[in-house]
Amino acid sequence: MALFCSQSIGSCLTILCLVLVQCRSALILSMKKHHHSYHHHRTAPMFQTNQSNCALFAGTWVQDDDYPMYQSSECPLIIDPEFNCQMYGRPDTGYLKYRWRPLNCELPRFNGLEFLDKMRGKTVMFVGDSLGRNQWESLVCLIYSAAPQTQTQMVKGDPLSTFSFLDYGVTIQFYRAPYLVDIDMMQGKRVLRLEDISENSKAWRNADVLSFNTGHWWSHNGGLQGWDYMESGGKYYQDMDRLAALEKGMRTWANWVDSNIDTTRTRVFFLSISPTHYNPNEWNGGATPTTTKNCYGETAPMTMSGVTYPGTTYPDQMRVVDNVIRGMSNPASLLDITMLSELRKDGHPSIYSGDLSPQQRANPDHSADCSHWCLPGLPDTWNQLFYTALLY
């Protein structure tokens, strides 16, 4: 692989290292079926096109005035207030004008009508936390903007929300399960069952395409912690090593997929960890003083030479996810969006979220949302990759 660089040797080496990290961290995307050798001999994630081999998750962001692929006004009932940055006052639009270019190829542009036609009569379900909901709403908007005249039906609920394109029999669903495994109430306490997924999984069995994600909730503490006790092996714990807990939960999920999913009729994907941007030192390297304490005010992606690997939590979580998936009998296809998303410090709602009060918006140092993503925005690229892996 040739790497051409007009920058310094140090910058070139940084780019090369990033490419190698991407290649090492991603599983091969199998377009037709999974092979057992898949988790024994890993190389770069290669997507076969008619023109070349494509390292799908390594590449660069390029400006493109043909983006975004839809406007928020085209699907106002679908986008949650916390993701609808333009509606809630974001003044800049440059962050909408970037396209992901993988190494050695161009991604096919998302075609909503083609998606509906090829997925006719099928159900696509996203399962996970609010990042999964972010992606679900993005996919619905991408499709709906291409077929605004088709009859639709939407039912938002908890844990299951459904959007149906009735003329095509296509159903796009989101099932909220931030840990994937079950949470039960016991004597008024929330018990996270690390080895039980039987209740949640009832809703997943009949989907034709499943896309899972988890990660953020496993590290929450205090008021954001989603459980009071963890249960494993019949024992109850007020806390345990969070990576160990994640691994137990992931293995429960992986065993369920291996035991219950017929891969000849159901495709299974796993979305890698979506990074946050709460620490400006991650992208300026301390070279210049920062005027903000998070993603507030960021309007452009990082340059490749300025990025560091995300935080301290996510690489550890990614190793757990990668190891569990590689050990599956029928490995899920990993959509390795972590590094390409890490570059997009400009893509978060920040203070432009309908979930924030005027007082919170006036205090970005403490209230900015640097975890979720604006719509339109970065999740549209996740879905472009998902679309490419699913249909090409």
Question: What is the set of active-site residues?
Answer: 130, 369, 372
CA angle, 78 as apex, 73 and 84 as ends, to 5°? 60
Sign of the dihedral through C-alpha 297, 313, 61, 79: negative
Print the SS3 string covering 143-188: HHHHCCCCCEEEECCCCEEEEEECCCCEEEEEEECCCCCCEEEECC
Residue 207 burial (CB < 10 Å; 0-12/13-18/19+)?
buried
Amino acid at 269: F
User: Using CA atoms, how far apart are residues 73 and 77, in angstroms rounded to an integer?
Assistant: 9
Q: Are 261 and 210 in contact (CB under 8 A)?
A: yes
Most distant CA pair in the chain: distance in Å?
64
d(CA 162, CA 177): 15
What residue has token string 């909408």? 96
In DSSP terms, 160 is beta-bridged to 175
What's the CA gap between 216 and 238, in Å, rounded?
19
DSSP 71-93: -GGGSTTTS-GGG-TTTTT----
Alpha carbons within 13 A on the beta-carbon side of 346 = 17
Q: Are strands 189-193 and 229-232 parallel, antiparallel or unpaired?
A: parallel
